[in-house]
Structure 1
Amino acid sequence: MGSVKSNKIISLPSPSSASRRIEYPFWFGGAASCIACTVSHPLDLTKVRLQTTHGVNKASTIYTMIQIIKTEGILGLYSGLSASILRQITYSTMRFGVYDKLKNLISKNQEQLPFTKKILCASIAGSIGGAFGNPADLVMVRMQNDAKLPLENRRNYKHALDGLYRIVKEDGFRGLTRGIGPNVNRAILMNSSQLATYDQTKQMLLSTKIFKDNIITHFVSSVMAGLVATTVCSPVDVIKTRVMNSSSQAKVI
């Protein structure tokens, strides 16, 4: 008997499709940031309180948090949470979405992208996100620091939308751009150091063949990115916070 030949064709994935990056919806980064800010908000509020203290401030983070709880209650640590969430919806959604789109545009779906190009994409995305999220950032800083001010100087915004309305009513639409210069500079530094460092660290870890593309690798990359970004952005972040917290009559350098 003759041998039976199979006519079944087995299709193999092409190299280009195997190396193609997975594209996620542009809002994934913003949604994740909203969830994260509900956890990190007390620390962010404490940071703002420390940054707006003039002169030599010897208070520690823990001491400042304890003082906030003593004077304002446990809910005092969540002052300005609505503005913080609005900031993530605008600023983080924009910067993550633009960064991912730019990477895909420049790399043309190639798996690897040079570190310098990652920094370029992150810087452009950061500048756009910083400008877009400036109004929410402005309200957030003011709400977080309001309880620290004397009673006659407090703004008493009810929530983020009330803060935006009050700023427009009292200072006009131009008031929403207060601090936009240092905020955009901070966003550029934050994005270029954070996102580029995250991608580069992840790429280096995966190249060792020891790490796999799982939550452990993502966590290690995120920690490294956070350390680098916080160190780089701290000076500009202090300037941004003080400018936004100042009154409309204060002179901006």
Structure 2
Amino acid sequence: MQSADMAQTSPKESSVTSAAATAAAAASAKPKILEKKKALPQKQISYPFWFGGTASSLAACVTHPLDLVKVRLQLRSGDAPRNMSGTFIHIVRKQGPLGLYNGLTASLLRQMTYSTVRFGVYEDLKSRFTHEGTVKPSLPLLIGLSTFSGFLGGISGNAADVTNVRMQQDTALPAARRRHYKHGLDGMFRMLREEGPRSWFRGVWPNSTRAALMNASQLASYDSFKAWLMTYTPLGDTTTTHFASSLLAGFVATTICSPVDVIKSRVMSAHDEQGILHLLRTIYAKEGAAWMFKGWVPAFLRLGPQTICTFLFLEAHRKAYRQFKGIES
């Protein structure tokens, strides 16, 4: 009897034991699977070199009126409006809404040279210093890489930048001093023909210094803010993260670059050449230390949206590229 009972109950007991063993095995295997996933190196994605240039060009189309107002305020003279809203109204009254886009062709030409180089070189160098799945570049290294790439970008885009500043300021000048450039390329070649090759490198040192500071404060801070938000918040690699990171990067970049930006605009718009030290003495004597942050508000209102738009467009480029190539994020 006892053996018969054991024979009758053994299938149940064996099935329970088997289920328990399976559950225990699954529970013990789960952490191992997770560990393996964590240990798997992430593949470094190499994006096209020109993504930064096209993203910046799209952003320039959105923010060009703000850039125009910033330059006008930095170079204002006489009875020109002293604030951002007054400058906007003044431009629209004198030239109509299209007046807010004076110099757009030069601005696009600048982005396709300056921004293509600064983004392309930075991303290439960053990928060389990133060991897949193990080591990410430190903040000091990111600052160094972005400073170098920004300096190269400033040199490559200087001629277009000079043209951009001149076209933005042209209609605010007396009729006798206007240059009447038709578009960005016309301005560059007229400068070469009328003023010689040196005109393409006018203000190249303050411009390249500003570009280096801009890149270091914008790209390195964006990558750092983005990594921090993805690590310490549940946001993940989302549009919200990109927006917040680019907004903070725009604030940092505006503050750091403001003094050099003012000097760059004044050197490039001048009709006669003068040394930077002489220019600094003149500005300080007339305006005091406040000159360093002249036009900061319109600069931030322009650079903040410009930074946000640039990185949102850039991340959209990357997402579309991954989808097209069938690469998982």
* TM-score, reference length from structure 1: 0.90
- C-alpha displacement of 1:188: 0.7
Q: Letter of the aligned partner of 2:145 in structure 1?
A: C
- The answer as to 2:254 corresponding to 1:230 is yes
**Are 1:21 and 1:111, in contact at CA under 8 Å, matched by a contact in 2?**
no
- Which protein has the larger Cα radius of gyration, Structure 1 or Structure 2? 2
> Which of 174, 179, 193 is 1:150 aligned to?
174
What CA distance in whole angstroms lies between the structure 1 residues aligned with 2:79 and 2:146? 34
| C-alpha contact (below 8 Å) 2:213/2:257 kept by paired residues | yes
Contact preservation (8 Å) 2:81, 2:90? no
- TM-superposition CA deviations, 1:179-205 (whole Å, max 9, x none): 101000100110000001000000100
CA distance 1:77–1:58, shift in 2 (3 Å): closer
Deviation at 1:23, TM superposition (A): 2.2
1-side partners of 2:52 and 2:135: how far apart? 20
What is the match of residue 192 of structure 1? Answer: 216
1:112 maps to 136
Cα 1:80–1:214 shift into 2, 3 Å? same
CA distance 1:29–1:181, change in 2 (3 Å): same
- How big is the shift at 1:93? 0.6
1:127 partnered with 2:127: no
* Paired position in structure 2 for 1:91: 114
Query: What is the CA deviation profile of residues 149-185 of structure 1, one whole-angstrom value per residue up to 9, with x for unaligned ones?
Result: 0000000000001001110011111110001010001
* Conservation of the 8 A alpha-carbon contact between 2:146 and 2:215: yes
Letter in 2 for 1:70: R
Match in the other structure for 2:75: 52
Q: Does 1:252 align with 2:236?
A: no
Q: What is the CA-CA distance between 1:40 and the residue it aligns to?
A: 0.2
Shift of 1:121: 0.5
Distance in 1, matches of 2:80 and 2:248, equals: 27
Instruction: Judge conservation of contact 1:103–1:118 (CA < 8 Å) in 2.
Output: yes
Give, as a single letter, the amino acid of the residue that structure 1 aligns with 2:249. A
Residue number in structure 2 paired with 1:35: 58
In the alignment, structure 1 segments of 5+ residues that lack a partner are 1-11
Retained in 1: the 8 A contact 2:60–2:108?
Answer: yes
**Shift in alpha-carbon separation, 1:25–1:13, aligned structure 2, 3 A:** farther
1:8 corresponds in structure 2 to none
Equivalents in 1 of 2:64, 2:162: separation in Å? 15
Using the TM superposition, name which of 79-88 and 203-212 deviates more: 203-212
2:157 corresponds to 1:136? no
Aligned counterpart, 2:242: 218
SS state at 1:251 partner: coil
Write the deviation string for residues 84-121 of structure 1: whole angstroms up to 9, x where unpaired: 00000000010000000111112234552210000000
Q: Which residue is equivalent to 1:21? A: 44
Change (3 A) 1:59 1:101: same
Q: Deviations over 1:22-50 (max 9, x none)?
A: 22111111101110000100000000000
* Secondary structure class of the residue paired with 1:148: coil
Q: Which amino acid aligns with 2:127?
A: N
Across the aligned residues of Structure 1 and Structure 2, the Cα RMSD in angstroms comes to 1.8
Structure 2: state its 5+ residue gaps: 1-35, 277-329
State whether residues 90 and 129 of structure 1, in contact with CA within 8 Å, keep that contact through their aligned partners in structure 2: yes
Match of residue 102 from structure 1:
125
State the match for 1:63 in structure 2.
86
User: Aligned equivalents of 1:133 and 1:183: distance in 2?
Assistant: 9
Aligned to 2:206: 182
Distance 2:178 2:59 in 1: 28
Shift of residue 17, structure 1, vs aligned partner:
3.6
Q: Deviations over 1:204-253 (max 9, x none)?
A: 00111411101110111000101100111011001000100011x33232
- Assess if the C-alpha contact under 8 Å between 2:81 and 2:87 holds in 1: no
Work out whether 1:81 is the aligned partner of 2:104: yes
Query: For residues 113 and 16 of structure 1, what CA distance do their matches in structure 2 show?
Result: 19
Cα distance between partner residues in 1 of 2:268 and 2:47: 34
